[in-house]
Structure 1
């Protein structure tokens, strides 16, 4: 046997018990020996086991509660005011639906007491759209403790349905929709305040006439939004509104324009006589309805202006009238003036007057004349004029009441109606020196007569003053059978003197 095998056999332990030898131990050795504290270690072990069991139990309970809230809302959860604590999504929706079943809406209208529309009358119902379930899924079940410390309130759009036809019927049954309560609005308007003598604006009125289509849309939107009340008066366009408001620029302009009418004052002068047109009269030309509303009628107002001007002309025009005339011979004759006198230009005066009324002008002036006389009054000839006495065949030139020239003459031949000198009051309208007087044009192109004169002063068409060197006699009765073609034939020297002094505005008074 090799040495290695022998060593392995020696190292093996025998199974038989060996003999035990006891060695005595001294007291000193016994004092230094510490025995293990078995009971202390055992108590700690029991405590640890108990704690572990409690932890496991608590974890199991927490996990169980978390599992419970995996499909239920935490405590302290409200949705749109409904307590959903511990409820499943289905149970929460049922609670919301129960609340919806009691829905009603209060409708307030203008000048009326509020009225209630019950949800049941319009088939108002809750419709699930999954929103509640979505809210539930946002919870983390293991955070269920927060429900006791941090209450949560959700607000979500509740999906509801209702019968639109029934809602329209309910609307039509409200007092605000009844025919007897439909009061139309009234437009603002201009009126005249007599106490203050000014035009002012009467504000518009609201009325209570519903625009049914807009009222229904407003009510429908409120119901769809689950609103508890709706106020028609607070919603634009639910009621018919006035088309003309008190702040309308056009209305303000009208008020201001007519206040100018009231301020206008035009005083006309006719010599020492005056006529005043002011707002008191102008107001009577305007039209107002039974409420006092100004009714604008420009055509009617213009007619009043025209009539006023026509009345001025009727009272003060002297053209086309006869006036008494005291002759140098002492007679009083009546002379018609068709080409002399005062004559208002009615068209131009009416236009100027209208403009002054519109601008509120206050002025004193003469009317616009188309023809003027020398002086105002019944006898508008004045003290400067030429008196042509056709019966006595003598003329007088008066200047400021004094005779500065007089002369015999020969007038139109009385034997021919078409050659007689016309009566009337005239004015010179031209002067020429020399000139040629021509008669009517004959068929052969020549004139009936062509007479050269040195001084020509026409005043009535083809009739005028001129020298007549072919005559040797003037005055007397020559005009009865040997008169002119209508002109006033004068001696050369007198015609020259008249030509040198006559003015265009001097009245020429011809009479028999």
Structure 2
């Protein structure tokens, strides 16, 4: 309440009190002294009338007391007399007849004593009356506020001053009649469900009435000076079946309006593998959406955002924080970092991330399609390509003979040969670990030299046409001898051409032919030096040959071995090395 309002109330109370006092007491007049001349006249009259007591006029006593009598006469106060005539205060006395009176009539006249403090007692009575009236009024107002909220009371935003609990609840109920809730969803325009759609209504919980009961009626004056605000729970109810139908009819709940979430995935961008985050999509879980909307309505919320709760939507199975996905990124980034440089003599071949990346499969969005079997097959194919390009085993070579001829020699048992299984295993491990290295492939067979002519300059040359052999070491002849090769006219015994290497050497040994059914051999021949290089074919001494070289092989050829003079066989036995190519040709 403002100061002006307080002053106005005080002024009204003061005016009322003044009026009450005026109406109760009237105008207060000051007392007047008696007229000396009147006393003189009275005395004189008394003397002249002293002879006869009975002849005294009836109005003598009036003259003596100078006060109005009960009958007719003149009042000194100027008020009307008993007959209604008003006599002026200044009126002169008429001629008086003096009548003798008895001295007994001059007994002292006792005037009544004036009451003291009369005004004070009246004021006290008035004050008491005012207090009683005020108390009654206060009690009446207090009783009023046993059923009404104090001035300055607000409940749930409603001005509840001087209202009953029922009236307040009616206002709350009327507010509920206009209730509606806005539904927000992903990728959809907001929609509204009104209270009338779901029979939304207010239910009294008694809390408003309890607030009124907690109010102390005799403290109603505080309401004019203090504001009181309450927040009461507003109990509501609605038809759950109708709400469920409303939720199902929302646009966001329709399948044709929904987009399924997409998993996070690995993609190759700017020379590295990265995680592309998942997409949320808009595939709604209707049950969870209903629960959210129901709770929002129960709380009297004006809106609910379904997108704020991830549980209301179907989520991606694989998210960007997946440990497995991160491990995949790390692994494939190792693939991209891997660099294996193969050496083939002076030639090098490098396998790096750019090539490895091409072995991976990606869909139209760039998402990595993990297919370990396919990836491994790419590694197998790559190693096979290396072998095809650089293996020399099983290939023909152009060979320049000592005699000056150039011959083609097929080498099935000599040359470079990559161990493809071994190389696949090692390469797979190096790719996975991101290894950067320079090395040779894993070989199962090695040659003396790299390149197309891998024979190098250390080899044994056996000219089956000339029936002569040479041992070259670093391009120099360190051994040579006449020989006798297999019987030329017998395909079973003819020495086959090719490139070979020494299996082992043994001294002495026994050479045996085909084993017969009876357990014996077609032949058995002891030798001092045995050096096999092609199955059962090898170098050995042959002291039974009458001579070596020339045309001896045409008629007295061996079973396929290279027969040598015993001394030459012993010399070769001492110097021959493993992995030295043995080139046989016609």
TM-score by length of 1: 0.85
Give the counterpart of 1:52 among 128, 132, 136: 128
Q: How far 1:314 moved relative to its partner? A: 1.1
**1:351 deviation in Å?**
2.3
Q: Choose 263-272 or 339-348, whichever is displaced more.
A: 263-272
2:542 counterpart of 1:468: yes
Match of 2:72? none
Give the SS at the match of 2:465. coil
Say yes or no: does 1:114 pair with 2:190.
yes
Task: Tell me by how many angstroms 1:416 deviates.
Answer: 4.4
Report the equivalent of 1:164.
Answer: 240
1:76 aligns to 2:152 (yes or no): yes
Shift of 1:180: 4.5
Structure 1: gaps spanning 5 or more residues: 1-35
Residue 385 of structure 1 deviates from its aligned partner by: 0.8
Structure 2 CA distance for aligned equivalents of residues 69 and 205 of structure 1: 62
Deviation at 1:334, TM superposition (A): 1.9
When Rg is computed on C-alpha atoms for both structures, the one with the higher figure is 2
- Give the SS at the match of 1:114: strand
Where 1:120 maps in the other structure, the secondary structure is: helix
- Aligned twin of 1:151: 227
Deviation at 1:87, TM superposition (A): 2.8
SS in 1 for 2:260: coil
The aligned counterpart of 2:89 is: none
Paired position in structure 2 for 1:64: 140
Matched, 1:105 2:181: yes
Task: State the alpha-carbon separation in 2 of the partners of residues 37 and 208 from structure 1.
Answer: 107
Aligned partner of 1:185 among 237, 261, 265: 261
Bigger Cα displacement from structure 2, 449-458 vs 344-353:
449-458
**What is the distance in 2 between the residues matched to 1:462 and 1:84?**
120
Aligned to 1:140: 216
Structure 1 partner of 2:339:
265
Matches within 5 A, 1:296-335: 296-335=370-409
Deviation for aligned residue 1:369:
1.1
Per-residue deviation, 1:207: 2.9
Structure-2 residue corresponding to 1:408: 482
- Matches of 1:474 and 1:428, distance apart in 2: 22
* Greater shift in the superposed pair: 231-240 or 369-378: 231-240
By relative contact order (CA 8 Å, sep 6+), the higher-ranking structure is 1
1:511 shift after superposition = 2.0
Aligned partner of 1:254 among 316, 328, 347 = 328
RMSD of aligned alpha carbons = 2.5
Matches within 5 A, 1:86-97: 86-97=162-173
SS at match of 2:293: helix
Give, in angstroms, the shift of residue 302 of structure 1. 1.8
Q: Which residue number corresponds to residue 360 of structure 1?
A: 434
Q: Which deviations, in whole Å up to 9, do the C-alpha atoms of 1:350-385 show, x marking residues without a partner?
A: 222233333333333222211111111222111111
Task: String of CA shifts for 1:38-74, please: whole Å, max 9, x gaps.
Answer: 7335544444433333333333222222222223322
Residue 274 of structure 2 aligns to a residue whose secondary structure is strand
The 1:42–1:332 alpha-carbon spacing in structure 2 relative to 1, beyond 3 Å, is same
Match of 1:457 among 531, 535, 549: 531
- Kindly state the Cα deviation for residue 410 of structure 1 after the two structures are TM-superposed: 2.4
Deviation at 1:112, TM superposition (A): 4.0
Q: Could you list the per-position Cα deviations for residues 370-402 of structure 1 after superposition, in whole angstroms to 9, with x for gaps in the alignment?
A: 111111122211111111222332211111222
Aligned to 1:16: none
Q: Distance in 2 between matches of 1:148 and 1:480?
A: 144
Give the C-alpha shift of residue 312 in structure 1: 1.5
1:485 has 2:559 as partner: yes
Separation (CA, whole Å) in 1 of partners of 2:523 and 2:194? 113
CA distance in 2, matches of 1:448, 1:508: 28
Give secondary structure in 1 for the equivalent of 2:162: coil
Q: Quick one: distance in 1 between partners of 2:125 and 2:556? A: 172
Which residue of the partner structure matches residue 203 of structure 2? 127
Cα-to-partner distance string for 1:132-162 (whole Å, 9 max, x where unaligned): 2222222222222233233222212211111
Aligned to 1:237, what secondary structure does the other structure show? helix
Which position in structure 2 is the counterpart of 1:29?
A: none
Structure 1 residue 507 displacement after superposition = 0.4
